[in-house]
Structure 1
Amino acid sequence: MEKNLEYSDLLRLIEDRSAAFCAAVASAPGLDVQVPTCPDWTLYDLVQHLGEGRRRWAATVASGPDATARSAARSEPVAPREREALLAWMAASTQELLDELREAAPDRACFTGWGASQTPHTCGGVARHQLQEIAVHTYDAQATVGAPEPLPVEIALDGVEEFLFTCNATTSPWPHKPNAIDYHTTEGRSWRLTVDGDGARAARIAGDDPEAGGVSVRCTASDTVLFMYGRVSMDGLEVDGDPELLDQLIEWVPEE
């Protein structure tokens, strides 16, 4: 069974994706262009969202294991409007987060906000989720300049499981008939999300598992993550079984 990314790898890849994000922003014709994958935002809005979020998460990590809520950023200057200054501000935002994560141990407790999921409430869990947020928003920035690139394979493979464990897993009862959703990546890794009266829980499975779920999705790891985050539609995926089950999962808002 393939191992998850190490903590040091997560931090390295956060830095890598942040650099790719800034490169896409630097190549744009302007900061007022609309982001096609986030149609309510301009490119400036996207940078502001990502930068402010990293500063708040840095403050949350820095607040230590006794924090009971996500902390306000210690220093949150308004995102500059001039591109060069904005890119410097964005790079500083990422560095602030990385500095705090490097200072913390991956197993140190941390407020996360994701409730009863399968992802631990630790700095390691925060780093894993932060990588995916930055990676997906890098895709958004690249799409804005007409040059979207697939998520790097190691990030995408970790991202499928991270989404299932953090965003889907819950102890809130599934309001429909018990079932299972299988995800098979062309890179050779597979997962099953089981949904029933006990909630939703995910696990890795063998790709040739004979007990197929009610629906299965087969595509690259990158497209799987981008589908999960609503960046690509179901039309571009290989779907076997009942696609309505995927619609039910997307529409489901678990009770707190």
Structure 2
Amino acid sequence: MSELPVVPLGSVADELLLQVTAFADATSAGSVDLGTPVPTCPDWSLRDLARHLGRVHRRVAETISRGGDELVAHHEVADPEPPGARDEVATWLLAGAAELVSAMTDAGPDRRVAGFLGPAPVSWWARRMLHETVVHRYDAEATAGTRPWVGVGPELAADGIAESFSLLETFGARRADLAGSGETIHVHATDETSCEWLVTRAASGVSVTHGHVRADVAVRGPAAALFAVLTNRRAPDAPADDLGAVEVLGDPAVLRDWLRVSGL
């Protein structure tokens, strides 16, 4: 898979703050209870989801600030628990995101810090945290019953797809379930020319290449709708909604099995 495009750190930081604000708004929407189960993450409540995102932001912020060769341990994260009052959870989430943006800005995009599999530049963490937040924003809004991903445009969604594919390639060697017997999946965004991919599940692992190629199954539609499908936030055959409609061409079983093993 080719190198992902370089995005200015300031742009990513600004977008991250917008996305975490939307997430925080969902936790405060209407009369939604923080104990409400998250339909897209069935083992979690809305409080669990908020706790996860807030802790991740704080952990990465501390990892960047400290430098070093190892991720900050979960038990070392400061202020790891959201407040009990629902109205205070949004403030806690925003504070964690602000801490993360401050750490990234102070360090600069090129500084190398601990990553998942060795050193990674701060710019890599910025992109990872942005899309972690975008995906969980969908979860929070689905739980609150509000329209998911209002304002998430094709460029952001397409970059989320690209980033998720890069993660699958990175961890492919550790995930035997991602391998296959040559099955291919073509992903094609209809509103973003950069978003066209071929996923190949070879016996040796997963490869992802860019371009328009025939495959066992093709899934096409607006980038945001595709991103929701590829992260298992929306079924491929779900009715069209505000994000648009997704079309599956070819063998749907190939797509179903890919989503079973690859969804984030």
TM-score range, shorter chain: 0.7 to 0.9
Tell me the distance in 1 between the aligned counterparts of 2:261 and 2:142. Answer: 28
Q: Which residue is equivalent to 1:241?
A: 250
Instruction: Give the corresponding residue for 1:105.
Output: 108
Conserved 8 A contact 1:5-1:158: no
**Among candidates 54, 60, 64, match of residue 57 of structure 1:** 60
2:182 aligned residue (168, 178, 184): 178
CA distance in structure 2 between the aligned counterparts of 1:70 and 1:201, rounded to whole angstroms: 31
Q: Whole-Å Cα distance in 1 between the matches of residues 28 and 90 of structure 2?
A: 8
Structure 2 counterpart SS, 1:80: coil
- 2:200 alignment counterpart: 194
2:217·2:254 contact (CA, 8 Å) conserved in 1?
yes
The structural deviation recorded for 1:222 is 1.1
CA distance in 2, matches of 1:102, 1:91: 16
Q: CA deviation at 1:137?
A: 1.2
Distance verdict in 2 for CA 1:50–1:28, change over 3 Å: farther
**Pairing of 1:51-130 with structure 2 (within 5 A):** 51-64=54-67, 66-72=68-74, 73-113=76-116, 115=117, 121-130=120-129
Q: Is the 8 A contact 1:59 1:71 kept in 2?
A: no
Judge conservation of contact 1:140–1:148 (CA < 8 Å) in 2. Answer: no
Deviation, 1:85, is 2.2
1: CA distance, partners of 2:162 / 2:231: 13
Task: Note the alpha carbon deviations across 1:116-151, whole angstroms, 9 max, x for none.
Answer: 9xxx83211111111111111111111122112233
Is 1:167 the counterpart of 2:173 in the alignment?
no
In 2 relative to 1, CA 43–6 (structure 1 residues): closer, same or farther, beyond 3 Å?
same
- What is the CA RMSD across the aligned residues, in angstroms? 2.6
- One-letter identity of the residue aligned with 2:136: H
Shift of 1:54: 0.9
Deviation at 1:163, TM superposition (A): 0.6
* Residues 1:31 and 2:37 aligned together: no
| Residue identity opposite 2:130 in structure 1 | L
- State the SS of the aligned residue for 1:60: helix
Equivalent residue number for residue 140 of structure 2 = 141
User: Any stretches of 5+ residues in structure 2 without a counterpart?
Assistant: 239-245
Q: CA deviation at 1:17?
A: 0.4
CA distance 1:223–1:70, change in 2 (3 Å): farther
* 1:149–1:5 distance in 2 versus 1, CA, 3 Å: farther
TM-score, with length taken from structure 1 = 0.84
Q: Return the offset for 1:179.
A: 3.6
Q: For the residues of structure 2 that align with 1:33 and 1:9, how far apart are their CA atoms? A: 33
SS in 1 for 2:130: helix
Q: Which runs of 5+ in 1 are unaligned?
A: none
CA distance in 2, matches of 1:107, 1:213: 37
For 1:219 and 1:80, the matched residues in 2 are separated by 40
Residue 228 of structure 1 is matched in structure 2 by: 230
Q: Does 1:250 align with 2:262?
A: no
Going from structure 1 to structure 2, the CA distance change for 1:197 and 1:98 (only over 3 Å counts) comes to same
Report the alpha carbon displacement of residue 101 of structure 1 after superposing the two structures with TM.
Answer: 1.0
> What residue identity is the alignment partner of 2:190?
T
Identity %, equivalent residues: 28
Amino acid at match of 2:56: G
> After superposition, what is the alpha-carbon deviation per residue over 1:88-132, rounded to whole angstroms, capped at 9, x for unaligned?
11111111111111112223223222x49xxx8321111111111
TM-score, length basis structure 2: 0.82
Aligned in 2, Cα 1:142/1:251: closer, same or farther, shift over 3 Å? closer
Conserved 8 A contact 2:190-2:223 = yes
Report the residue type matching 1:166 in the other structure. L
Output the CA distance in 2 between the equivalents of 1:15 and 1:158: 17
How many aligned residue pairs are there? 244
